[in-house]
Structure 1
Amino acid sequence: MLSTSPQSSVIHPRQLLVTCAELISRSEFFSANRLLSLISTDFALQFGDSTERLVYYFCIALRERINRHLLSTTTCVMNPSINIPVTLAHQRPIFSSSSPQIILPNQIPRPSRIVEQDVTTRYSSYLSLNQVTPFIRFTHLTANQAILEAVEGYSSIHILDMNVMHGVQWPPLLQAIMERSSTLGRSCPTIRITGAARDPSLLDRTGDRLRRFAESLGLEFEFCDLILYDSEVVDHSEAVIHALMDHRLRFDQVKEALAINCGDYLHCLLREYDTRSLRRFLHKVKTLNPKVLTLGEREADHNHPLFLGRFVEALDHYGAVFDSLEATLPPQSRERVAVEEAWFGEEIKDVVGEDGERRKDRHQRFESWEIVMRSSGFKSLALSPFSLSQAKLLLRLHYPSEGYQLQVVKKNCLFLGWKNRPLYSVSSWQ
């Protein structure tokens, strides 16, 4: 992570970024603008080391935040004839170092977090994210083990995945269910997966892949899609209930087992000072009496109401993420650049650059999720010993760096972190 050694007379970029954030928190935007120009000139490189890359993306996020406030208070930008150049590039300053500069918003293309302009690039980079970092695989493996044990002995299994993406989580589970049934001399259960996403074409492709894989195993399998339209962003609880009814679930709580997977999803239902949408969703799905609800989230407080607190938290969290990428990938890795730009860079822009309803990535620490889950009627399920052993094997085989660390908390949550900083948590509930 970024160094802040008090022994050194050199001013480190972390100190400068925090100072810039402090100026913004005091609404001293022109001073922040000048300081950001210096930081971006001297320390920000998209293809540099982990510190330079981290500074690069934080400079972009701070730039957007400053521009929005300066534009709202500067009358000159109302003139449509003004054309101010943007110099953001790999090794070029974000701002001119001579004087405060306003950048017009139409020169800063910012795709919506709901329907993104480069959705194909983002989805393809998800596959790279799954390959170059252990975080997604760790979440999938741990959640799958909890589901496998919770649905044991049922003749029919329904999995509701609230963030299905490419569906890469499910082939290993389908194979594990089949192998376990074969070992125990039982008939393999019927399996249905309902996958949720905002992109219908993505759901079509994901469903086709999973059907082909299930067919290769000889499983009785069905894939249903749940399209989360823009109007349902605020409250997905009704969408989920209606989807289950529309698909004629004929849900029998005695013979069928329902598993709900919420990997990197529940934080999307949070709003500033408002957990009503989240709690409505949890109360709705609790009435379905799921055998297990798996929860995978970032271990970071990116829902802090004060900008400065959120900024420092994000700086340390993503600093650890970028350090882990530096240690496990070669210096000029194109996959790493794609992942940092399409995923972590976009998250930083959201956490740092946005405010109010525009901000979507409201990650919380496990202790906050634990309070919400218990108050919504869920009880925690103990971690299986296989979960820890599988996670250890994953790191040893695919990410052999001593920096990655696993930690069991309260016997019901497994953390994956980098050098003593937890970054991801997985837990299961009923």
Structure 2
Amino acid sequence: MFPSNKRVLEKDNPSSNEDQHKPYRDHGNDVEPFDNLYFDFASPPYRNMLKGENLQLEDQKHKKDSPFASLRIVKDFASRSRKLNGERIHIPSSNNESRESNDKKLSTIERIRIAGLHFIETYSSNLDEMSNPSQLFPVLSAELADEAKDIDLLLNLLVSADKTSLKQFADASKLIDLCTKRSSIEGTTVERLVYYFSEAIREKINRETGKDTSEGVESMRMFDLQKALMSVDASILAFHQKVPLSPVCQFTAMHTILENVGNAQHIHVIDLEIRTGMQYTVMMQAIASRTEWRLKHLKITAICTRSKSKIKDTCHNLAEFAHSMNIPFSYNIVMVADMLDFNIDILELDRHERVAVYSAISLSSLIVKPNRLEHLMREIRKINPCIMIVTEVEANHTSLEFVDRFISALFFYGALFDSLSICLANDELNRKVGEAIYFAYPIRNIVSAEGDDRTIRHVGIDVWRAFFARFRMSEVELSGESLNEAKLLINSFDCGNLCSLHVDGRCFRVTWNDVPIFSVSAWKFV
């Protein structure tokens, strides 16, 4: 491993040739308090983004006095999927056989939409018919016979969510019992999805009624989790190799960083949550392929608040990979017990470096701690990186209204369950690990928790744009070359036909079956 430069940034005397490190001086109230923006997630800018242009609310019975008025968001999603703002780039699959197979049946998302629309159209006339909840809804058309079981199950889940929002816990519990009996982690994609959401609603009911929630949590552990935990690293690799959603984000981020550092001889990437570090193998391969550019040093600073030994292993593996590619490399792990301890002086910056900041699903983890998020952004502004790349979940999981939050999560995780079902169709263990380890807790937290206990919070790119503007950050347009390369990457996956890119202003949004999953955006400080 190549030695790391230990020289700290000379804040008061930056190099005239390397002015990217000119320190930002925060004079009092240059940036407004973070909480003024962030505690109104139901504000018109975000709501308008969710509403489809073609949505017509012709039925006056669905006004606010209706007990299911909040479920109009289902229609919003249906309209949103038909007409998205921005340019839609559809990537045809290289696996035509898979495409033909998928066309023969409704996707998980289509089943959710159908269930939601049937709920809206028929539920009002059946509010009190709890004696046989499985017969609340009309028989579906013959061509949907194979999917009718899943759609009926989803209908009951929607009713249970609505009953829970009305605090009609006895009725909601009956429906949850029915959903649990008809679903499991061994069933169809919809049955597995309904199982996890049913358990989340059960936990919410227990929280609301003061019952012990441990039983509900334990009941979700229906296969050998010890074996699953031992397989986590293998599962992450399987996701990366077979599911295009995360790799296309990582590739776009690394490609954009290299475009913005130019031919700098010293590159320093500050990663706010490095995780597996797979993204840097992409960067190193790109660096090694540029024979006309002689890089003298690549340094990665990994910021961590936990699991330092795991991050050390990640960085060590990256050092070995860099050595195999003949790339001068060093890393620095910066452990901060609290993000309020993060500051420019602990980063070992050098005035000769071109510095980039990479944030992948890390800023949203601080939404519940707005003072820490604001502090972090102020310190990053002092660094004044040449580029900051932000990848975030493109969903609204912050609404104070339970049903809105529930429906948003149902579509989002429905798309993710669908992606694992298709992309890992022949890899049962890794699919189970993905659903039980990575999806179960966020679903439970988003659905069942309130207040500070609800730590899983995501907002869309429009909200992040409003937030970043307060730190005088300017969005940088992602290049056409990045777009073209990302298209080729998606097309290389067998299930790539279901993954699409959308250009939203200057950023990219990655979707699965037309449901937004991630956004990738680039920023500079002005």
When the two structures are superposed, what TM-score results if normalisation uses the length of structure 2? 0.67
1:188 equivalent to 2:295? Answer yes
Moved more, 51-60 or 130-139: 130-139
CA contact (8 A) 2:406 2:447 kept: yes
Larger gyration radius, structure 1 or structure 2: 2
Match of 1:420 among 502, 514, 524: 514
Aligned mates of 1:332, 1:199 — CA distance in 2? 28
**Identity among equivalent pairs (%):** 28
Q: 1:331 to 1:17 in 2, by over 3 A?
A: farther
Aligned mates of 1:294, 1:104 — CA distance in 2? 39
Aligned mates of 1:331, 1:127 — CA distance in 2? 15
CA contact (8 A) 1:279 1:372 kept: no
CA contact (8 A) 1:161 1:196 kept: yes
Which amino acid in 2 is paired with 1:149?
E
Match of 1:311 among 406, 411, 418: 406
Q: 1:228 to 1:107 in 2, by over 3 A?
A: farther
Q: 1:250 to 1:424 in 2, by over 3 A?
A: closer
Q: 1:397 to 1:332 in 2, by over 3 A?
A: closer
Match of 1:215 among 319, 323, 327: 323
Q: 1:196 to 1:119 in 2, by over 3 A?
A: farther
1:149 equivalent to 2:259? Answer yes
Structure 2 partner of 1:370: 465
**What are the ranges of 5 or more consecutive residues in structure 2 without an aligned counterpart?**
1-108, 122-136, 140-150
Structure 2 partner of 1:269: 366
Report SS of the residue matched to 2:309.
helix
Structure 1 partner of 2:353: 256
Which amino acid in 2 is paired with 1:31?
D
Q: 1:381 to 1:56 in 2, by over 3 A?
A: same
- 1:223-277 deviations in Å (ceiling 9; x for gaps): 1112343xx2xxx2x4331xx5345x1431xx31111111111100102xx7433
Shift of 1:107: 7.4
**Structure showing greater relative contact order (alpha-carbon pairs closer than 8 Å, 6 or more residues apart):** 2
Alignment of 1:11-410 (within 5 A): 12-42=152-182, 44-70=183-209, 72=210, 105=214, 108-109=217-218, 122=232, 124-180=234-290, 182=291, 184=292, 186-197=293-304, 198-229=306-337, 232=338, 236=339, 238-241=340-343, 245-246=345-346, 249-252=348-351, 255-271=352-368, 275-330=370-425, 333-410=428-505
Which amino acid in 1 is paired with 2:513?
K
Aligned mates of 1:380, 1:220 — CA distance in 2? 31
Shift of 1:392: 1.2
Shift of 1:313: 0.6
Shift of 1:51: 0.9
CA contact (8 A) 1:49 1:331 kept: no
Shift of 1:327: 3.0
- 1:406-428 deviations in Å (ceiling 9; x for gaps): 11111x11111122222111111
Q: How many residues align?
A: 378
Aligned mates of 1:361, 1:191 — CA distance in 2? 33
CA contact (8 A) 1:122 1:343 kept: no
Aligned mates of 2:516, 2:213 — CA distance in 1? 38
Q: 1:333 to 1:281 in 2, by over 3 A?
A: same
Aligned mates of 1:107, 1:370 — CA distance in 2? 38
CA contact (8 A) 2:356 2:388 kept: yes
Q: 1:349 to 1:395 in 2, by over 3 A?
A: same
Which amino acid in 2 is paired with 1:280?
H
Shift of 1:176: 1.4
- 1:164-218 deviations in Å (ceiling 9; x for gaps): 11111101202212332x2x2x431311101133201211211110111111222
RMSD: 2.5
**What are the ranges of 5 or more consecutive residues in structure 1 without an aligned counterpart?**
73-101
Aligned mates of 1:104, 1:401 — CA distance in 2? 40
Which amino acid in 2 is paired with 1:144?
M
